[in-house]
Amino acid sequence: MAEFSIIDKHFSAIGHAHEHTRLGVGDDAAIVAIPPGYELAVSTDTMCEGTHFFAGTEPELLAHKLLAVNLSDMAAMGASPKWATLAISLVDSDESWLASFANAFDQYSKAHEVQLIGGDTTQTEGCLTLSLTIMGLLPTGKRLTRSGAQPEDEVYCSGTLGDAALALSYLYDKEPQLSNTLFQQVLPALHTPEPQVALGEKIRDHASACLDISDGLLGDCAHIAKHSNVSIRIDLETLPLSPAYLAYLDQGGSIEHALSGGDDYQLLFTAPPHAAPYLRQAAAELGVTITKIGTVNPASDTPVQLFENNKEKIVKNKSYQHFS
C-alpha cells in the first residue's frame, strides 16, 4: 500500500474532533486556533525498535505507549492535551499491523480527547520508528516547570515506582528472584502505563515544580534540583511500591529498579507544606495515590540525598540517558 493510501485509510480521522482545529490531516500543515487566555504546550517523543521496544511487540501496545508517554509530558506541565502529529517509519506496509495500530491509537486518543491532525509516513530499510508530537493548552501563566521548587517544600510522587523497570529487567533475564507470577503483575506498567493527566491539571496551581518520571526517580529528582537550584532529600522507607514489587524485595530483590529504572510515567512534584490538604483531597477525588517521599533543601554539593530511617545512604544514580 502506498504512502497516501495508508494515510487516507488508517490515519485520516483519528481521535477526538476539536472545535479549535481549523485544518487537520491531508494538507501540507495543520492549523489550530489557540483560544484567548491560553498558551500552547508542545512535546515530542520517539520510540525506536530495539531501543524502546522489542521487535514483534504488538501494535496495540505500541500505540498505547507512544501516546501515553507523550500524554505524560502534558501531565507534567499541567496541560490539557488536544492535538498530536505522528511520524512513522515502516519497514513494510503490513495491512493488518497498520489496522491494529491505527484502531488502538484512535481509541486511546478519544479516551484522552486528543485529535491526530497530521504527520508523516515513510519507508525505511532500518527499524520501525514511531515519533509523536503532542500539543496541549494551558491557562496563560499557569504552567508547571522543573524550576520552581523552594527549600522546605515537600516532595511527592503519584502511583507506584519500579514495576516497569522490573518487568523489563525480567525480559532481559536479569531477575532470577522474580517469579513468572509476579512478572505478569508488573508487566502492564511497562506496556500500558497510564499518564496522570488529570492530576497534572489539578495540581498546577499548587505545585511548585513538576516532571514525569521517565528516566528514573533519582535522575528526575536531579533535574528538579538543578533547574530549581536546590537539593532534594528522599526517604527510602516512604517510596510507594506495588504489592508485587514488595514481594520481589522479600525474595531478595533490589530497590534499584524503583530508584533508577525509569518508565514509570508518574508525576514527581514539589509543593509547599500548606498545599498538602488540597493535594491529598484532589488525588482522592481522582482515585489516584500520591505519596510524600521527601523534602526540598537548600542547594548543596549533593543534589539528591537518600536517607533510610534518618541514616544517609550512598546509592549510585543509574538513571537512563541516551549516549551515556
Alpha-carbon distance of 82 to 274, in angstroms, equals 32
Verify that 173 and 216 share a domain, yes or no. yes
In a domain, 147, yes or no: no
Q: Which of residues 104, 139, 174 is at a domain's end? A: 139
In a domain, 62, yes or no: yes
**122: three-class secondary structure by DSSP:** strand
Verify that 135 and 180 share a domain, yes or no. no
Q: What is the pLDDT along the chain (324 residues), one digit of tens a residue?
A: 545 455 555 555 667 777 888 776 667 788 899 999 999 999 999 999 988 888 889 999 999 999 999 999 999 999 999 999 999 998 887 788 899 999 999 999 999 999 999 888 888 887 899 999 999 999 999 999 999 999 999 999 999 999 999 999 999 877 878 899 999 999 999 999 999 999 999 999 999 999 999 999 999 999 999 999 999 999 999 999 999 999 999 999 999 999 999 899 999 999 999 999 999 999 999 999 999 999 999 999 999 999 999 998 877 665 555 434
Residue 237 — φ and ψ, nearest 5°?
Answer: -70, -10
Nearest CA to 157 out of 70, 218, 247 is that of 218
The domain of 233 spans 154-313
Verify that 186 and 125 share a domain, yes or no. no
Verify that 116 and 162 share a domain, yes or no. no
Q: Which of residues 139, 171, 188 is at a domain's end? A: 139
| The pLDDT of residue 12 | 57
| Number of domains comprising the chain | 2
| The pLDDT of residue 95 | 83
Sign of the C-alpha dihedral, residues 163, 165, 166, 168? Answer: positive
| The pLDDT of residue 1 | 53
| The pLDDT of residue 48 | 93
Verify that 199 and 126 share a domain, yes or no. no
Nearest CA to 220 out of 294, 120, 132, 112 is that of 294
Alpha-carbon distance of 113 to 17, in angstroms, equals 8
| The pLDDT of residue 21 | 80
In a domain, 236, yes or no: yes
| The pLDDT of residue 322 | 44
Verify that 72 and 177 share a domain, yes or no. no
Q: Which of residues 112, 139, 166 is at a domain's end? A: 139
What would the grid cell of residue 31 be? 492549523
Verify that 135 and 166 share a domain, yes or no. no
In a domain, 34, yes or no: yes
Verify that 129 and 25 share a domain, yes or no. yes
Verify that 161 and 300 share a domain, yes or no. yes
CA distances for 56 relative to 1, 3, 214, angstroms? 21, 22, 23
Residue 222 maps to which CATH number?
3.90.650.10
In a domain, 319, yes or no: no
Verify that 123 and 169 share a domain, yes or no. no
In a domain, 52, yes or no: yes
Verify that 124 and 217 share a domain, yes or no. no
| The pLDDT of residue 13 | 64
In a domain, 305, yes or no: yes
| The pLDDT of residue 6 | 52
In a domain, 276, yes or no: yes
Verify that 163 and 273 share a domain, yes or no. yes
Residue 32 maps to which CATH number?
3.30.1330.10
CA distances for 20 relative to 16, 17, 31, 39, angstroms? 12, 9, 9, 13
| The pLDDT of residue 288 | 97
